[in-house]
Amino acid sequence: MSAVNDSKSNSAVLHLTGIPGLEDVHHWISIPICLMYLISIVGNSVILFIIKTDPSLHEPMHIFLSMLAVTDLGLPVTTMPTILGIFLFKYREISLDACFAQLFFIHLLSCIECSVLLLMIFDRFVAICNPLRYASILLLPKIAKMGLVCVLKAVSLIFPLPFLLKRFQFCRANVLSHSFCVHQEVMNLTCSDITVNRIYGLSIALLTVGLDSLLICLSYVMILRTVLSITSHMESIRALKTCFAHLCAVFLFYTPRLGLLVIHSFRKSSSHSLQNFLGYVYLLVPLLT
């Protein structure tokens, strides 16, 4: 009976993890993390300011870039309180409600960013494969509708996650491998049947990362076919250069997310240190792209 009472009392908070084994130098590690956050916030703010103030940049590609910058501004706001709380003040506790709110916004912004990357390659696809119709296809009203669809899609998919977790009783050791909350790990701390959460989480992954990455790959295949059919070597290189930055962003966005998804799926056989490392890569590296 006492064990049950203890589990119920412990379910009110979860405990976050900094970098295991380096707790004595957390305050030093906070310096590069703060610099990453600062560079991300300042850099994305400058991008938004330049695009807003320069009428010549009010074009589809730059509008999609501004959407990406907005999501990259949202992630620091969402994760800074817990990450810097651990490294600067050694404060590891987070309430369940705060954890659910944080994971909602992390997954929401990631889902939106995933969709925006798809819109950006769609822009390049139209510009390279059908340049004569570029101006008529990517009109500003259509771009606004695309952005709205991305947000609505993300909200509809991610909104149920906190409520699916809220019905559980957390009665295990409530220690997370990261300094922030993600659905895949939080659900594994419960002592209830998480089959519904697993299926729903996998469905979200397939509908966002899976489907969008497939469409991005197909777009690149069609772009490559079009570029190879261009007789001018210089024109081919110029066309491919317009896709290079996007390709780097896609690689940095998807690689840590897929790695973290696989590790959380096979958490019993995976290293906690690897989970922790991939968590910071998943969160911090895309902010600097």
pLDDT band at 208 (very low <50, low <70, confident <90, very high): confident
CA distance 120 to 69: 13
- Dihedral angle sign, alpha carbons of residues 233, 238, 241, 246: negative
Residue (of 111, 259, 92, 107) closest to 183 by Cα position: 107
CATH dotted code for 2-288: 1.20.1070.10
pLDDT digits (tens, 9 = 90+) for 225-234: 888 777 677 7
- Quick one: average pLDDT of 135-160? 91
CA distance 107 to 143: 23
pLDDT digits (tens, 9 = 90+) for 97-131: 899 999 999 999 989 998 999 999 999 888 888 88
Question: Taking 70 as the threshold, does the pLDDT of residue 264 lie above it?
Answer: no
Q: Where are the domains of the chain?
A: 2-288
Q: Which of 1-15, 152-166, 258-272, 275-289 has the lowest mean pLDDT?
A: 1-15
| Per-residue model confidence (pLDDT) at position 289 | 62
- Quick one: average pLDDT of 139-157? 92
The enclosing H or E element of 58 equals none
Q: What SS3 state is found at 181?
A: coil
Residue-by-residue DSSP string for 213-277: HHHHHHHHHHHHHHHHT-S-HHHHHHHHHHHHHHHHHHHHHHHHHHHHHHHHHTGGGS-HHHHHH
pLDDT digits (tens, 9 = 90+) for 48-73: 999 999 888 888 888 998 999 999 88
